[in-house]
Structure 1
Amino acid sequence: MNIHKKFFSRIGFSYLIFGLFILLVTVVVMNSAGSINSNLLNNINFTTILSAICNYVLPFPALYFLLKKIDTRPIEKKNLSIATFLKYIAITLTLMWIGNIIGLIVTAEIGFVLQTDVSNPVENLITNSDIWMNLLLISIIAPIFEEIFFRKLLIDRTIKYGAKISILLSAILFGFFHGNLNQFFYTFLMGGFFAYVYIKTGKVIYTIGLHIAVNLLGSVISVLVVASAENLIAGTYAPLDMAIILAYLIFLITAMIIGIVSLYKFKKSKLDETKTEIPLENPLKTAILNPGMIFFMLFFAFQMACQIIA
């Protein structure tokens, strides 16, 4: 195995160990909380807070330790105009909707074959958690940590192999790391786009902003819209409910039109290939088909399978 394949294998094993560490910390913390008071684990808000601590706060030093000895490359920093940032929000939402549709079709087909419903753990979490908890954890804390994990720490170390390789790795690791098939397709697409934005600007604050926007729409705003729609169906709606639904529909249609048009005009040539310090003869084989990445993908594919048959 050549030196470059070893490099990407190390990346894969680092994120695999990171995932295993999260699993271990979650088991220990949840069992400890249950031993203190078993009723605590029946409180969805309490378990959501613990999950955030176990998934983001406690494991952060572990991932940093695993990656800190790998050389980084500075990325030139550029600012985005407000108009461009808003366009990127529309692109992000469009990619999310496209990926979500693909995920729904795939899980529906799997459910049909297995004669069972494939549950969506994220949807269950959003539905059952307090809306303020969704705002804090899903819409703010998760985007901040995930952008550091899968954009800042990862791309700074892989950009020397070129933008395309960094984008692909970021998309694959981000998609698989969520551990369920429902999320894989849209997190893969969004992860790749976030990687593009980070490489283009060199500022993780922009991808954090995009991530917050899409999570806010899915975990907070959508909950308010659903509540207004339920009031409308029940005949107990107020003028505010109608205003919320109309504003949401106008926003969705506008964002989708802008997103589709922007994606149609999107050109691969926009990637700055001058960032490639180390060209690879077989980039896909070198970056993906190595022990670390293979074991990483197998582990999280197994998690997805367990989630499907659970």
Structure 2
Amino acid sequence: MKEKLKAFFAAIGYLLLTVGIQLVISIIGGIGVGIYYVVKEVSKSTNGANLFEDNLDNLVTFTAGLTNVFLLISSIVTIFTLILIYKIKKRNYKRDLQLIKTSNINILFAIILGASCWLFNAGALSLVEESGIFYSQFEYMNEILSPLSQGSIILSIITVGIVAPIAEEFLFRGVVYNTLNRKISVRWTIIIQAILFGVFHGNLIQGSYATLLGVIFGYVTYKTKSLWPAIIMHMTNNLVATMAPYILGNYFGNILIYIAFTLVGIIGITVFLIILNSKNSKSKDTVIDFENFNNLN
């Protein structure tokens, strides 16, 4: 039990480290942007006394528009920090985090599963929101996420759709999964890392569906013995979520579509998890056997 608790708190430590990186970069970036904006406005203004009050809203809007930049930087720093920690510990991060080649069929399944996850989440969450349940929680989530949709769509695709998913998979299905699984069974490793993944998102609505995604991503990582399918799934989910408003426009806006998305998503997730499980159950285990790498049974 002592070793299991040690593994759990070590995983928490990595999570807190990542949150710390995000906070530090956001604070430094916010201060830097604030100084730049104030200096810029002072040079243009003749009314210095009321400058702060007059331009506070503009400053907040300007800073919010750079949220993707801060997220991009913190994601890159997180990836390199985690790799550096493994190098300092003289551990093979590619082996431990299962950054190994996987089959093309697993990549294809990952893309389909990622799209299916988005369909289910988009449909189910829209149905819940339309019902009026958890209204304040949806408002809070939308308020948090709105800055990510501001600015360049290209920057959003790079940050939200590509770099952030890689960083989060490095952390959760990579470092946290590996840390837990050295002392804890796969069953509990998948559950714990999924819950931590949900908590990491910081609000009830996102946390709920992130926990579900964490279970699916964790299970796929276990079955494929590679981190790449989870990365591809996460990227696909986020890329579709980022581009859907531009592609669908007003078409995504009625109950029948929400129900259709939910049902198609459930079918896609169920069918392709079953197929992926079948394909990988028969494949050779080409990955190092972790300490106490237990089966789900």
Q: TM-score range by the shorter chain?
A: 0.5 to 0.7
Match status 1:52 vs 2:72: yes
- What is the aligned partner in structure 2 of residue 128 from structure 1? 150
Normalised to the residue count of structure 1, the TM-score between the two structures is 0.65
* Distance in 1, Cα, partners of 2:24 & 2:70: 13
The verdict on how the C-alpha distance between 1:193 and 1:167 changes in structure 2, with shifts beyond 3 A counting, is same
TM-align CA RMSD: 4.3
- What is the aligned partner in structure 1 of residue 267 from structure 2? 257
- What is the aligned partner in structure 2 of residue 6 from structure 1? 6
The Cα of 1:61 is off from its aligned counterpart by 4.6
The verdict on how the C-alpha distance between 1:213 and 1:87 changes in structure 2, with shifts beyond 3 A counting, is same
The Cα of 1:151 is off from its aligned counterpart by 1.8
Q: Is the 8 A contact 1:103 1:183 kept in 2?
A: no
Q: Is the 8 A contact 2:18 2:78 kept in 1?
A: yes
Q: Is the 8 A contact 1:171 1:192 kept in 2?
A: yes
Q: From 202, 208, 221, give the equivalent of 1:179.
A: 202
The verdict on how the C-alpha distance between 1:51 and 1:262 changes in structure 2, with shifts beyond 3 A counting, is closer
Q: Is the 8 A contact 1:162 1:278 kept in 2?
A: yes
Q: Is the 8 A contact 2:160 2:238 kept in 1?
A: yes
* Distance in 2, Cα, partners of 1:171 & 1:24: 25
2:72 alignment partner AA: A
Match status 1:278 vs 2:292: yes
Normalised to the residue count of structure 2, the TM-score between the two structures is 0.67
* Distance in 1, Cα, partners of 2:113 & 2:30: 38
* Distance in 2, Cα, partners of 1:62 & 1:41: 29
* Structure 2 unaligned regions, length at least 5: 39-57
CA offsets 1:195-215 (integer angstroms, 9 cap, x no match): 222233333232222211111
Q: Is the 8 A contact 2:194 2:213 kept in 1?
A: yes
Q: Is the 8 A contact 1:172 1:188 kept in 2?
A: yes
- What is the aligned partner in structure 2 of residue 149 from structure 1? 171
Q: From 198, 201, 213, give the equivalent of 2:224.
A: 201
1:208 alignment partner AA: I
SS in 1 for 2:180: helix
2:150 alignment partner AA: N
- What is the aligned partner in structure 2 of residue 225 from structure 1? 248
CA offsets 1:91-136 (integer angstroms, 9 cap, x no match): 3344445455369748943437x9x944424652354343222211
- What is the aligned partner in structure 2 of residue 299 from structure 1? none
SS in 2 for 1:58: helix
* Distance in 2, Cα, partners of 1:177 & 1:151: 13
The Cα of 1:164 is off from its aligned counterpart by 1.9
2:292 alignment partner AA: I
Q: Is the 8 A contact 1:91 1:260 kept in 2?
A: no
CA offsets 1:56-101 (integer angstroms, 9 cap, x no match): 123445445666649777459563343x544443433444454553
SS in 2 for 1:17: helix
Q: Is the 8 A contact 1:174 1:191 kept in 2?
A: yes
* Distance in 1, Cα, partners of 2:189 & 2:90: 15
* Structure 1 unaligned regions, length at least 5: 231-245, 281-310
* Distance in 2, Cα, partners of 1:64 & 1:103: 38
CA offsets 1:215-258 (integer angstroms, 9 cap, x no match): 1110013322116x49xxxxxxxxxxxxxxx9xx9999766533
* Distance in 2, Cα, partners of 1:78 & 1:170: 23
1:52 alignment partner AA: L
SS in 1 for 2:133: helix
- What is the aligned partner in structure 2 of residue 111 from structure 1? 135
Q: Is the 8 A contact 2:141 2:206 kept in 1?
A: no
Aligned-pair identity (%) = 23
Greater CA drift, 215-224 or 58-67: 58-67
* Distance in 2, Cα, partners of 1:109 & 1:34: 38
- What is the aligned partner in structure 2 of residue 286 from structure 1? none
* Distance in 1, Cα, partners of 2:127 & 2:25: 31
* Distance in 2, Cα, partners of 1:76 & 1:51: 23
- What is the aligned partner in structure 1 of residue 61 from structure 2? 42
